[in-house]
């Protein structure tokens, strides 16, 4: 669908279209739980004074995570990244930095930012840095527990970006380095380059690359098991300004391009240029905006047969008026069919001298333009791309754009979420207790969170969101290690590590099952939620899991919770804490087994019951229940039980916990009535005195002059009644973090302090979580 047609469709059917995405993606977009950044399961790494941890290389063979930052590369323990085992410094020289600033760049731009880290066949690492807008590459080794940067350096132009903040992509395949960046200082010559072997690049033409923002590159081994003798492909994902639409302003679209690994360029035309470069529009139809969403990151989930592999991509809007993000999935086979079987677009000049792009309806030259050299081409005597006819090369040189867009699986996004924009994605496939495989997506956001989401036959469930960094910084890189079962993230402020499955967060069988986490199951023998072992060695009779149906009816009935006895005196205020089972649960309070309805004296808070004024009738048994709905069923769990006893009725020797000293109840309007009359009289007196002094000239309004008669000053009015001073209310509450026993002190004036220094590690307040959860 063209943008104009889409705009017209939204104009006529906008409300209905918006409702379409509501059912598809937004229904399950509320995370069930939020994990704060000070959680024990999150491991951080950061060096003071070092920034931009934006390149990563997993060396599972060495047990290392290579982390590239500003002017340094760190070797971290893959299982605990807080342990630094090695490092190497790569600082820019003062001459290079001075040359960079002389060209108009800021000092912040003129450092050496490590942007590229790849492993070579011989075990060495290939590393590139911006080097003060003079890209440079070199070789790095790891021997004897030490990282060493070899003295031999190479020009990194066209391989590494000049600008440390510019989007780029690179991929090392069979000793060849594929890089998508710019070739010049100004960033005006974008290209897809292959280096370290036979060098090839794209043409500097708008119909090839038009102001692109490069995102990701992936290699697909399409030659494996291919009866047609096809070649392996390298796919490039990016966004660019569309050339095929006649808009008054620039319209950006998402693209996927691909080249053949054995491409050697043309003989006379397209010498040292790609002969297999084709591109197509990538569609992710989020229908709340007439403008297409733009791709931000792509992850390839690899199946044992490459034909069953799937691309997962995150998209964000190009309009600031839309705050949705989306995840779309694409079949590798469907993407390949667009290039091998689709139509071509061709530019046509019309009378107004504008260039229109229309579907090419003429006869295609043979072999098919942009195709890899397969068995059919070899039967024609075309053994390499150097043998391709000029007619074929001329066609692909001027018409690299395919006509059909690549559509997502099921024709719609897997996930649509409002709030913080998505930035990165990685995907894992998990075999659950029912024997089925489920796709788990870890999606980074621009405020330092990672969403853990699963799609159950079209039903999207966000199991939890994890705040990885103290600051609301974008997740710039995500890596997943199946070998260690860990997720690694990088940002401008540091790197983070978290396990793919932290089943210990679920404290009860009900909580474990309703989380619908395919990594976890409730172990009846051990009485705790544990990671699901391999099915080959699984004793299923002692495990409970129901990820698809969310059926917790087989959970054992929990033991009756003993009440916590507390004493009180009349006239005080009491706050009884109650931690919700999940963000999707509702809290219900009962008093003496009867539902408690909020009244003037009792107020049900989100995480507590606040009793403003106690009386003799306050005494009784209070029970807090968490009620969560899942798949049409409601599950109730008792979270807290209190027994409040009036102080005068407590017998000696009982195990009773006295309440902490409570402040006097707040002053009401009736209590202030004796003070209101003298205050009104005082106000009238002051008004009369003010008018008299203005009349006599003792006081002067702005712009007037005092006369000589206005000597002296009015006497000071009397002091206000000290009894009218507001009384601060202080209550001691348990901290929301169930992993510790610290208490916080809440003041009525709005100030909140926390007795736990660990809680202060998070400088990001929870409003970021609330904003992200508003669906």
Residue 493, pLDDT > 70, answer: yes
Specify the 3-state DSSP secondary structure of 430.
Answer: strand
CA 108 to chain centre: 26
- Measured between alpha carbons, how far is 286 from 323 in angstroms, rounded to an integer? 11
| Mean pLDDT within 199-228 | 96
pLDDT attached to residue 656: 53
Cα 639 from Cα 606, distance rounded (Å): 13
131-150 average pLDDT score: 97
> What per-residue confidence (pLDDT) applies to 693?
67
Confidence category of residue 682, pLDDT binned at 50, 70, 90: confident
More confidently predicted of 478 and 615: 478
Higher pLDDT, residue 499 or 679: 499
pLDDT of res. 246: 75
- Confidence class for position 186, pLDDT limits 50, 70, 90: very high
pLDDT in tens, 520-539: 999 999 999 999 876 545 46
The pLDDT tens digits of the residues spanning 699-751 come to: 555 544 443 333 343 333 334 343 333 333 333 233 333 333 333 333 333 33
Position 603 scores a pLDDT of: 77
d(CA 20, CA 7): 16
667 has pLDDT over 50:
no
Beta bridge partners of 311: 300, 330
Q: Say what the pLDDT of residue 767 is.
A: 33
Chain-wide mean pLDDT for the chain? 84
Q: Give the per-residue pLDDT at 103.
A: 94
- The alpha carbons of the chain give a radius of gyration, in whole angstroms, of 33
* Distance of alpha carbon 160 from alpha carbon 617, whole angstroms: 74
pLDDT over 70 at 148, yes or no:
yes
Query: Rounded to the nearest 5°, which phi and psi values hold at 521?
Result: -150, 155
Q: Is 636 exposed, middle or buried (0-12, 13-18, 19+ CB in 10 A)?
A: middle
pLDDT at 680: 62
The mean per-residue pLDDT over the stretch 353-376 comes to 91
Half-sphere exposure of 713 (CA within 13 A, CB side): 3
pLDDT of residue 321: 85
Q: Looking at residue 597, what is its pLDDT? A: 77
Size of the chain, expressed as the number of residues it contains? 775
Residue closest to 412 by CA, chosen among 26, 774, 15, 30: 26
Angle among Cα 370, 372, 375 to the nearest 5 degrees reads 135
Given a cut of 70, whether residue 207 has pLDDT beyond it is: yes
- CATH classification of 564-666+728-773, choosing from 2.60.40.10, 3.60.15.10, 3.40.190.10, 2.40.160.20? 2.60.40.10
Residues 163/133, Cβ–Cβ less than 8 Å: yes
Task: Name which residue leads in pLDDT, 245 or 208.
Answer: 208
For residue 689, what pLDDT band results from cuts at 50, 70 and 90?
confident
CATH number, span 1-30+167-347+365-416:
2.130.10.10
Sheet holding 213-220, edge to edge: 213-220, 233-241, 252-260, 278-281
Query: Looking at residue 701, what is its pLDDT?
Result: 54
Q: How far apart are CA 722 and CA 729, in angstroms?
A: 18
* pLDDT above 80: residue 21: no
HSE (CB half, 13 Å, CA atoms) of 646?
11
657-658 and 564-568 beta bridge pairing: parallel
Pairing of strands 64-69, 233-241: unpaired
Supply the pLDDT for residue 692: 65
Tens-digit pLDDT profile for residues 105-135: 999 999 999 999 999 999 999 999 999 999 9
Distance separating alpha carbons of residues 415 and 406, to the nearest angstrom = 18
Taking the chain, what is the end-to-end CA distance rounded to the nearest angstrom?
A: 27
The structure's pTM equals: 0.81
Mean pLDDT value of segment 174-192: 96
Q: Work out the pLDDT band at 690, boundaries 50, 70, 90.
A: confident
User: Once rounded to an integer, what is the mean pLDDT over residues 500-505?
Assistant: 94
Q: What are phi and psi of 771, to 5 degrees?
A: -60, -40
**Domain residues of the chain, as ranges?**
1-30+167-347+365-416, 44-153, 564-666+728-773
pLDDT interval class at 628 (50, 70, 90): very high
pLDDT value at residue 761: 44
Q: Is the pLDDT of residue 490 over 60?
A: yes
Provide the percentage of residues in the chain whose pLDDT is more than 90.
69
Nearest to 132 by CA among 104, 153, 171, 152: 104
β-strand partners of 761: none
Give the pLDDT band of residue 646 (cuts 50, 70, 90): very high
Higher local confidence (pLDDT), 59 or 685: 59
Find where tokens 């007037």 sit.
704
The answer, yes or no, to whether residue 577 has pLDDT greater than 50, is yes
Lowest mean pLDDT among 329-338, 357-366, 470-479, 714-723: 714-723
Residue 607 pLDDT class (50, 70, 90 cuts): confident
Residue 242 pLDDT: 94
How far is residue 763's CA from residue 37's CA, in Å, rounded to a whole number? 9
């Amino acid at each position: 669908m063209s943008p104009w047609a889409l705009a017209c469709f939204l104009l006529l059917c906008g409300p209905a279209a918006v409702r379409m995405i509501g059912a598809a993606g937004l229904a399950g977009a509320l995370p069930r739980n939020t994990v704060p950044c000070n959680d024990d399961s999150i491991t951080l790494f950061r060096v003071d004074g070092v920034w931009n941890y934006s390149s990563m290389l997993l060396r599972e063979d060495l047990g290392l995570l290579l982390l590239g930052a500003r002017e340094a590369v760190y070797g971290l323990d893959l299982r605990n990244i807080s342990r630094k085992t090695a490092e190497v410094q790569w600082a820019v020289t003062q001459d290079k930095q001075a040359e960079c600033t002389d060209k108009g760049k800021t000092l912040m731009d003129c450092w050496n930012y490590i942007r590229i880290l790849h492993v070579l066949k011989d075990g060495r690492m290939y590393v590139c840095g911006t080097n003060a807008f003079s890209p440079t590459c070199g070789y790095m080794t790891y021997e004897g527990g030490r990282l060493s940067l070899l003295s031999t350096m190479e020009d990194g132009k066209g391989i590494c970006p000049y600008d440390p903040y510019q989007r780029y992509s690179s991929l090392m395949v069979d000793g060849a380095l594929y890089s998508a960046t710019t070739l010049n200082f100004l960033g005006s010559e974008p290209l897809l380059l292959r280096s370290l072997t036979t060098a090839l690049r794209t043409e500097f033409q708008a119909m090839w690359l038009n102001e692109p923002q490069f995102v990701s590159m992936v290699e697909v081994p399409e030659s494996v098991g291919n009866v047609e003798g096809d070649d392996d492909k390298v796919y490039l994902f990016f966004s660019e300004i569309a050339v095929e639409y006649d808009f008054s302003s620039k319209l950006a679209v998402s693209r996927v391009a691909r080249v053949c690994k054995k491409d050697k360029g043309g003989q006379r035309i397209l010498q040292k240029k790609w002969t297999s470069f084709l591109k197509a529009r990538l569609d992710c139809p989020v229908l709340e905006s007439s403008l297409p969403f733009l791709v931000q990151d792509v992850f390839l989930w690899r199946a044992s047969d490459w034909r069953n592999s799937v691309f997962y991509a995150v998209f964000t809007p190009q309009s600031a008026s839309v705050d949705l993000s989306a995840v779309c999935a694409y079949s590798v086979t469907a993407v390949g069919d667009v290039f091998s079987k689709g139509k071509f677009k061709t530019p046509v000049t019309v009378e107004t001298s504008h260039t229109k792009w229309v579907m090419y309806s003429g006869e295609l030259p043979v072999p098919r333009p942009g195709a890899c050299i397969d068995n059919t081409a070899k039967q024609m005597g075309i053994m390499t791309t150097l043998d391709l006819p000029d007619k074929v090369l001329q066609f692909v040189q001027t018409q690299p754009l395919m006509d059909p867009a690549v559509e997502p699986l099921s024709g719609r996004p897997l996930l649509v979420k409002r709030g913080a924009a998505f930035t990165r994605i990685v995907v894992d496939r998990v075999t659950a207790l029912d024997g089925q495989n489920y796709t788990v997506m870890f999606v980074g956001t621009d405020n330092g969170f990672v969403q853990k989401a699963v799609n159950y036959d079209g039903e999207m469930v966000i199991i939890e969101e994890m705040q990885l960094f103290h600051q609301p910084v974008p997740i710039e890189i995500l890596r997943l290690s199946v070998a260690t079962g860990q997720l690694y993230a990088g940002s401008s402020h540091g790197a983070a590590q978290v396990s793919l499955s932290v089943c210990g967060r679920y404290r009860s069988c009900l909580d474990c099952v309703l989380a619908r986490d395919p990594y976890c199951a409730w172990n009846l023998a051990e009485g705790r939620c544990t990671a699901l072992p391999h099915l080959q060695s699984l004793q299923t009779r002692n495990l409970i899991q129901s990820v698809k149906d969310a059926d917790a009816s087989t959970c054992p009935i929990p033991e009756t919770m003993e009440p916590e006895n507390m004493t009180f005196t009349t006239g005080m205020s009491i706050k009884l804490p109650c931690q919700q089972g999940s963000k999707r649960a509702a809290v219900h309070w009962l008093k003496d087994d009867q539902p408690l309805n909020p009244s003037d004296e009792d107020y049900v808070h989100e995480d507590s019951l606040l009793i403003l004024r106690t009386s003799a009738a306050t005494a009784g048994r209070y029970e807090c229940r968490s009620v969560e709905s899942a798949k049409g069923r409601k599950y109730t769990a008792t979270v807290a039980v209190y027994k409040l006893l009036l102080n005068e009725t407590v017998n000696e020797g009982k195990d009773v916990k006295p309440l902490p000293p409570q402040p006097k109840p707040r002053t009401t309007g009736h209590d202030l009535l004796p003070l209101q009359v003298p205050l009104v009289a005082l106000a009238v007196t002051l008004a009369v005195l003010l008018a008299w002094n203005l009349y006599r000239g003792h006081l002067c309004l702005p712009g007037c002059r005092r006369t000589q008669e206005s000597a002296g000053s009015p006497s000071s009015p009397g002091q206000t009644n000290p009894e009218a001073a507001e009384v601060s209310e202080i209550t001691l509450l348990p901290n929301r973090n169930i992993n510790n026993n610290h208490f916080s002190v809440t003041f009525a004036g709005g100030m909140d302090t926390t007795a736990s220094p660990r809680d202060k590690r998070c400088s990001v307040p929870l409003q970021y979580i609330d904003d992200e959860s508003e669906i």
